[in-house]
Structure formats: structure tokens, C-alpha cells
Amino acid sequence: MNPAEPSRLYYFGFGNNELIPIYNIKSVGDGDYHSEELIFPRDKGGKPNLVLLKIEDGEDTGKNYKNGDPVYKKKKQIKQFMWNGKFLSEKKR
């Protein structure tokens, strides 16, 4: 697999005897990185009646720690979604 090629996870719900596409998670890393994680109400860190999307982006600063690992400038955000039985809609704050 090419490291610049994103890995994807596809989430589906089930309702009215059919699979319903919920969200496509994407993670990619090639120097810089981007990762996404869905957290459902029953998951650790979940919130009642909400699906959380944790997004993290890391930009390689060109510097390294003493152990050789790259130092990243990180940007994190969390988006909140509500599920209506058919799709997720972003909850505005």
C-alpha cells in the first residue's frame, strides 16, 4: 500500500431492514498526516444522543525528537453530529 494513499473505514447503520451509509472515515500519512475517528454514544468518551468526529492533522515541522521521531505541529477538532435514523447531521454549536 502506498503510504500517501488514504485508508478508509465505512460506517453503516441499519434501519427499516436496510443498510444505511453513515460516514466514511479517512486517514492518510506521508510526512504530514490526517486522521478521523467516530465516537458513538456508548463508546468511551461518547456523549448521549451524539456521534462525535475527532479530526487530527499533523504537519511535519522538519525537526525530530532525540529518538528520531518527527515533531508535528498538531491541529485537533471535534465535530458533533446527531442521528435521525437515516443520516448524520452536524450539530451547530
Task: Please check whether residue 92 lies inside any domain of the structure.
Answer: no
Task: Please check whether residue 1 lies inside any domain of the structure.
Answer: no
Q: How far apart are CA 71 and CA 88, in angstroms?
A: 35
Task: Please check whether residue 2 lies inside any domain of the structure.
Answer: no
Tell me what pLDDT residue 4 has.
63
Task: Please check whether residue 68 lies inside any domain of the structure.
Answer: yes
CB 12 within 8 A of CB 20: yes
Residues in the chain: 93
Rg (CA), the chain: 16
Tell me what pLDDT residue 26 has.
80
pLDDT band at 93 (very low <50, low <70, confident <90, very high): low
Task: Please check whether residue 45 lies inside any domain of the structure.
Answer: yes
Dump pLDDT digits (tens) for 16-69.
888 888 888 888 877 788 899 999 999 999 999 999 999 999 999 999 999 999
Record the cell numbers describing residue 21, joined without a space.
451509509
Task: Please check whether residue 59 lies inside any domain of the structure.
Answer: yes
Task: Please check whether residue 12 lies inside any domain of the structure.
Answer: yes
Residue with C-alpha cell 521521531?
A: 69
Q: What's the number of domains the chain is made of? A: 1
Domain containing 47 equals 7-85
Q: What is the pTM of this model?
A: 0.76
pLDDT band at 1 (very low <50, low <70, confident <90, very high): very low
Q: How far apart are CA 50 and CA 42, in angstroms?
A: 10
Task: Please check whether residue 69 lies inside any domain of the structure.
Answer: yes
